[in-house]
Amino acid sequence: MNYINRLIERIDIVSESNDNDSLYNIMGNHINCRYMLVRNHIAEMLMDYHSKQSFVMLNSLLADKDRVVRASACESLSIFADIETLNILLDVILNDRSALVRKYAASSILSILQKRNLKDTLKPDFFEYRKEKNIPARISYFMILYYLGEEKYLDCILGYINHKNYINRINAINALIQILTLENHQIIKVAVDKAVKSEESIAVKSSIRELYINISVLQGEEESGCIDLRR
């Protein structure tokens, strides 16, 4: 573990030096490191570097043997808001066996769509008819479908805020944060206000608190007037 920490620290030191050539060199030398934590650190760091080298390395990490590394690569690829990246992430959804990776790929697709006007490049059918059994991944597909104009999928996401599994409740709340708009924030707040009254999970409450903060910012208010989650 000490070796891993030292290696990660070396990468961070080079990053702080603002010498991108040296950084890409050290990351390239360790992109196939035997230790997952190092490879994942590289995948996460690359989100801060919008360059051809970064794009190439992230693409190579999509084939990593560890699903966490592949998921991090999907997340970092969201900085490349173009059709090429969109198609790469769609391919990940089609072919990756890990639901975690598919979830992150879908989340990055939504991020790219929100940054660029690329709605016409995606057909709702691609996500509507996917036989996705994993609920967090399914919720991520619902986010995209809603963004593409399929308004019924907002109710599909809201349907999971009372799910018996707190992980699914967290994923639903986080999805609502990503699709929050002036047009839907009141519907979302009313539904979450009801759910939070019986919520016991600290983790879920934390996500709800973030949602309320985003609603407050959206409304331009200093105080959200939401239910107190500190108790």
pLDDT at 50: 92
Tens-digit pLDDT profile for residues 82-94:
999 999 999 999 9
DSSP assignment of the chain, as one string? -HHHHHHHHHHHHHHHTT-HHHHHHHHHHHTT-S-HHHHHHHHHHGGG--SHHHHHHHHHHTT-SSHHHHHHHHHHGGGS-SHHHHHHHHHHHHH---HHHHHHHHHHHHHHHHHS--GGG--THHHHT-----HHHHHHHHHHHHHTT-THHHHHHHTTTT-SSHHHHHHHHHHHHHH--TTTHHHHHHHHHHHHTT---HHHHHHHHHHHHHHHHHHT-S---PPP---
Taking 70 as the threshold, does the pLDDT of residue 226 lie above it?
Answer: no
Taking 50 as the threshold, does the pLDDT of residue 224 lie above it?
Answer: no
Tens-digit pLDDT profile for residues 137-196:
999 999 999 999 999 999 999 999 999 999 999 999 999 999 999 999 999 999 999 999
pLDDT at 130: 81
Q: pLDDT exceeding 70 applies to what percent of the chain?
A: 95
pLDDT at 221: 54
Mean of the pLDDT values across residues 8-13?
Answer: 91
Tens-digit pLDDT profile for residues 41-83:
999 999 999 999 999 999 999 999 999 999 999 999 999 999 9
Taking 50 as the threshold, does the pLDDT of residue 231 lie above it?
Answer: no
Residue whose token pair is 């760091």:
45
Average pLDDT, the chain: 91
pTM of the model as a whole: 0.89
pLDDT at 222: 40
Mean of the pLDDT values across residues 101-106?
Answer: 97
